[in-house]
Structure 1
Amino acid sequence: MFALSGCAQQASSPGADAPSGEEPAMPDNGDCPVIDSRDWKAWVNAMPGPGAETTLIVEGAVDMPTPGYTFSWEAGMADRSAVPAQRLHLTATAPDGMVTQVITTENVRYEGPAIAKEYRAAAVMCGDELLAEITDVVTAE
């Protein structure tokens, strides 16, 4: 009886069908390699001074599958409200060559021209995934 118990069908987990020696497939989230993110905050720097420009700043921490990723940002659409919500797109580019397969936390920061002194929200997108929607956007004057 004990010999047959090993033949029982087991539920498979994601990646369980990967041939030996191959990494299980990562979930498809629109070409975004971010595993997790946290500690998002956003603020508007409207401090006066010579040559000062009102700037939107967004910061957070992202967990990546390997070290060595580089990041770029693009400001997306903002609604036309008097107090707008801004969409930002984070693009992560994998390192070239072989790298250690270890989850690495990276701090990311967007800094760009603000279209308003106050924002209702800032949304951080990566691929098709919404990483964060920050609704507490403060203004430093």
Structure 2
Amino acid sequence: MRALLVMMAGTLLPAALSGCMAYDDGAAEPAIPPAPTCPAETKEWSAFINAMPGPGAQPTLIVTGSALVPAGTTATLTAGPTDRAMPPSQRIVLALASSPDAAGGWQQLRAEIKPALPQYRSVIVGCDGNAVATITDIQIAQ
């Protein structure tokens, strides 16, 4: 009798557990391409120092440009480090972020750094460790 119970358990237990197992039909899930980390193209980069006087005014470095971004992403500019050269170069970080509702195309970008230094040698816009643009003509609006 005991041998019969062991044999039945060995036969019925795998069949009972098979209902709990995941079904694999062998079809692979469609590959989702990784989101890009940098825009395909950029253009129209400029930088200037707004040193206009006025109540509470601070010198401000303003950097603008355009980036071609794919649908579902937005581009941002953030201040990076300033080097120790005299006059220094200011780094600006260009990055893409996921934004499911965003339409693709050319996006206008703007970064402001307050307080700005009195003068800059250049502004270097970089993405993912690579320079996208180097701006050397930095005007001062007074």
TM-score by length of 1: 0.68
Q: Counterpart of 1:85 in structure 2: which amino acid?
A: S
Q: CA deviation at 1:129?
A: 2.5
Bigger helix share: 2
Which of 108-117 and 56-65 deviates more? 108-117
Structure 1, gaps ≥5 residues long:
1-20
Corresponding position of 2:87: 83
Distance 1:104 1:71 in 2: 11
Is residue 85–residue 121 contact of structure 1 (8 Å, CA) maintained in 2? yes
Distance 2:95 2:118 in 1: 26
Residues 19-68 of structure 1, C-alpha deviations (whole Å, 9 max, x = no match): xx878x68x9xx523000010000001111100011110000100122x5
Structure 2, gaps ≥5 residues long:
1-29
Count of matched residue pairs:
113
Corresponding position of 1:72: 76
Distance 1:70 1:36 in 2: 13
Distance 1:115 1:81 in 2: 15
Corresponding position of 1:127: 128
Distance 1:56 1:33 in 2: 23
**Residue 117 (1) aligns with residue 118 (2):** yes
Percent pairwise identity:
33
TM-score by length of 2: 0.68
Q: Counterpart of 1:72 in structure 2: which amino acid?
A: T
Is residue 49–residue 116 contact of structure 2 (8 Å, CA) maintained in 1? no
Q: Counterpart of 1:58 in structure 2: which amino acid?
A: V
Q: CA deviation at 1:128?
A: 2.2
Distance 2:98 2:108 in 1: 15
Please tell me the root mean square deviation across aligned C-alpha atoms, in Å. 2.5
- Where has structure 1 moved over 2 Å in runs of 4 or more? 68-74
Q: Counterpart of 1:34 in structure 2: which amino acid?
A: P
Is residue 124–residue 133 contact of structure 1 (8 Å, CA) maintained in 2? yes
Q: CA deviation at 1:96?
A: 2.4
Corresponding position of 1:43: 48
